[in-house]
Amino acid sequence: MLEPLEEKTYILNLGPQHPSTHGVLRVVLEMEGEFIVKADPDIGYGHRGHEHMAENRNYLQFLPNMGRVDYLHALAFNHGYCMAVEKLIGLEVPERAEFIRVITAELNRIASHLLWVGAYLLDLGAFTPFLYCFDDRENILDLLDRITGSRLTYCFYRFGGVPQDIDQEFIDGCRAFAKRLRRRWKDYDNLVTKNIIFIERTKGIGVITKEQCRLYGLTGPMARGSGIPYDIRKSEPYSAYPLFDFEIPIGENGDIMDRYLVRMREMEQSLRIIEQALDKLPNGPIMAEKVPKRIKPAAGEVYAAVETARGEFGCYIVSQGDVKPYRIKLRVPSFANLSILPEISRDTLVADFVAILGSIDVVVPEIDR
């Protein structure tokens, strides 16, 4: 007679190389049959030591790093870091520069969300939306490429403004793109949002309550999907955002579907912001007049927060009156967002786990820094 097995659970190792972990995330799953008893994310496979690097270079030298922390929404990270340093040295940014920052950051946000939709649907097993999303995304990259000079890891903002003005061709391009993307919403609706397979896989899965959001410090679409209207652009207005009229889409149930819908609606709001900014674009300089060549802030500290595509990015700089920062802490959104994973993936199926993990929209080098 066969002895019954003592252990009921077994360990399943997901990653670090796995197509649906969005890079190099490893999750150790303790399974009981098809169900997950415990998920233990093991991060750090993309750890590049940004914070250590910051202490070894001066303020300007660290700027290119910001494009590489969260490469999908690089301009928001540029923005947060520039804002923090500008606060630290007391630099005013001209209005036109703020407008250009808003326009480019919002374009970048759409690109980031589009990539998420494509890659997430790829996780769920749909290949076509990936091609659609990348097609649209390439249009944004063309626009940004023209003025920033790169496709992905932008280093476009400077302390005190932006180095490059936008021209008529860029403005026309943005308007044409907005028109084009609005026509595509119907395609996305038919292809994804109304797709019965997609609905079945996302409705009621991975539910996060408001209280859980608060205890884990979730921000961005993760919190908004659960019905918390927390968006730094509104709740702690920075740059030129108070001048524009836009809404914060929120979800009701806090499931994957809501997070998806929040991101889709956010893209529409971003288009609105871009169009308003283009309409109101003021003339004037794009760089503050008295930008010190050598940035040597007085001793002190500053915390500046911006809204990235994934949530709140907070840049905490401590200066001791040196040309190098004493410490830079990057409060990255995905770090907190991912820390809830063990909680929400308990007692789910592996297939759902992949859906939940994708819906967090993790960028692993951003978590690991």
Residues 297-326 close enough to bind other proteins by CB under 8 A: 300-305, 312, 314, 316, 318, 326
Q: Which of left, alpha, beta for 40 (phi over 0: left; psi -120 to 50: alpha)?
A: beta
Q: What are phi and psi of 323, to 5 degrees?
A: -75, -20
Region 2-41 residues binding other proteins, contact defined as CB under 8 A: 16-19, 23-24
Report the chain's C-alpha Rg in angstroms.
21
Q: How far is the CB of 39 from other proteins (least distance, A)?
A: 13
Please count the other Cβ atoms lying within 10 Å of the Cβ belonging to residue 74. 26
Q: How far is the CB of 339 from other proteins (least distance, A)?
A: 4
Answer for which of 8, 10, 64, 282 binds other proteins (CB under 8 A) is 64
Q: CA-to-CA distance for 29 and 41, rounded, in angstroms?
A: 8
DSSP conformation letters of 233-258: HHHS--TTGGGS-------SS-SHHH
Q: CA-to-CA distance for 29 and 145, rounded, in angstroms?
A: 41
Q: How far is the CB of 133 from other proteins (least distance, A)?
A: 8
Candidates 28-36, 188-196, 241-249, 327-335: pick the segment binding other proteins (CB under 8 A): 327-335
Candidates 126-134, 169-177, 183-191, 262-270: pick the segment binding other proteins (CB under 8 A): 126-134
Q: Specify the residue, 23 or 285, whose C-beta has the smaller distance to other proteins.
A: 23
Based on the shown chain and the rule CB under 8 A, indicate whether residue 60 belongs to the binding site for other proteins.
no
Annotate each residue in 223-262 with x if it binds other proteins (CB under 8 A) or - if it does not, as one string: x----xxx----xx--------------------------
Please count the other Cβ atoms lying within 10 Å of the Cβ belonging to residue 296. 13
Q: Specify the residue, 15 or 100, whose C-beta has the smaller distance to other proteins.
A: 15
Region 145-204 residues binding other proteins, contact defined as CB under 8 A: 151-153
Candidates 1-9, 199-207, 350-358, 360-368: pick the segment binding other proteins (CB under 8 A): 360-368
Answer for which of 176, 199, 215, 299 binds other proteins (CB under 8 A) is 215
Q: CA-to-CA distance for 90 and 95, rounded, in angstroms?
A: 16
User: How many residues sit in the footprint of other proteins (CB under 8 A)?
Assistant: 73
β-pairing verdict for 300-308 and 35-42? unpaired
Torsion sign, CA atoms 99, 102, 107, 108 = positive
Annotate each residue in 78-97 with x if it binds other proteins (CB under 8 A) or - if it does not, as one string: ---------x----------
- Counting every residue written for the chain, the total comes to 369
Q: How far is the CB of 115 from other proteins (least distance, A)?
A: 7
- Cα 181-100-279 angle, rounded to 5 deg: 65
Answer for which of 203, 280, 296, 327 binds other proteins (CB under 8 A) is 327
DSSP letter, residue 349: B
In 3D space, the residue among 195, 190, 198, 210 whose CA is nearest the CA of residue 252 turns out to be 210
Answer for which of 336, 354, 355, 356 binds other proteins (CB under 8 A) is 336
